[in-house]
Amino acid sequence: MSIILWNNQLINEEEINISKEDRGYQFGDGIYEVIRVYDGSMYTAKEHIDRLYESADKIRLIIPHTKDVFHKMMYDLIEANEVVTGQVYVQVTRGVSARQHQFPSPSVECVITAYTKEVARPVTQMANGVSAKTVEDVRWLRCDIKSLNLLGNVLAKQEAHDEGCFEAVLHRGDVITEGSSSNMYGVRGGVLYTHPATNYILNGITRRVILECCEEIGLPVVEEAMSLTNLYDHEEFFMSSTTAEILPIIMIDRKPIGTGLPGSWTTKLQAAFEAKINKAVLA
């Protein structure tokens, strides 16, 4: 049986009582984060909690705890569940009130729900790579918010899965934005390209760590969107997220990228990324 966080208490999961009028349930009116746990410790917890509060600000939602208290709540949850290698999922909704689109009265408090899960690192996919499918990005124009509204992302991921692909490469016309729940990168002529952190993508915490790794290994970065037209000019392609880490993308729309094997820069980045995890966990 697992222990979950509900508002400000740790309870057994069957004790949770979500209202039919929770605005997360009715409108997707809320935000979330997924934080990695390695060897019992949260990785880049500060960055994730900062981003959660930024997402909250962007939708004018107030989280009635300091970030330090919030961090402690996540920490206690992980301890209670004795997570070793896994993740914390946490969401915050705009609370419970009679259904109406405009915000409820300011006295209505947000609803916080968090739980943990053991999740292995995807070592096979990290080594072998995955395939992807291009899908038109029809999401709204505030993709910088980690919102609970994920219909565009869900439909894109399903379209990829229907074709036996692991992830969708989203594009607005000719412009490649990101994945359905990941960021996208290509290497061309020894330079790494990735979409700049604008309103068209979610600025991944993994993305930020990867950009640091690029500097460490001497891979120049250009934060400039890749174009669909030049897709196959890339020697390497990969995706990143908190749970997936760095996964080589070896095929897009059934055509190989480069040699059709994980690229050497991608492999170097995976090693640099892993070194950072080990350093953080040992610290």
Q: Where does this chain bind ligand PLP (CB under 6 A)?
A: 34, 146, 153, 178, 181-183, 202, 204-207, 240-242
Name the residue nearer to ligand PLP (CB basis): 77 or 205.
Answer: 205
Amino acid at 182: S
Give the Cα separation of 189 and 187 in Å (integer).
Answer: 7
Give the Cα separation of 57 and 62 in Å (integer).
Answer: 7
CB atoms within 10 A of CB 185: 28
Whether residue 146 lies in the annotated active site = yes
Rounded to a whole number of angstroms, the minimum distance from the CB of residue 143 to ligand PLP is 6
Paired residues of 12 in beta bridges: 3
**Nearest to ligand PLP by Cβ — which residue?**
204
What are the backbone angles phi and psi of residue 114, rounded to the nearest 5°? -145, 145
Indicate the Cα dihedral angle 22, 23, 29, 33, nearest 10°.
-10
Residue of 20, 146, 255, 268 marked catalytic: 146
Rounded to a whole number of angstroms, the minimum distance from the CB of residue 216 to ligand PLP is 18
Name the residue nearer to ligand PLP (CB basis): 96 or 166.
Answer: 166
Name the residue nearer to ligand PLP (CB basis): 10 or 155.
Answer: 155
Rounded to a whole number of angstroms, the minimum distance from the CB of residue 45 to ligand PLP is 12
Rounded to a whole number of angstroms, the minimum distance from the CB of residue 89 to ligand PLP is 11
Name the residue nearer to ligand PLP (CB basis): 148 or 187.
Answer: 148
Give the Cα separation of 92 and 113 in Å (integer).
Answer: 7
By annotation, the residues acting in catalysis are: 146
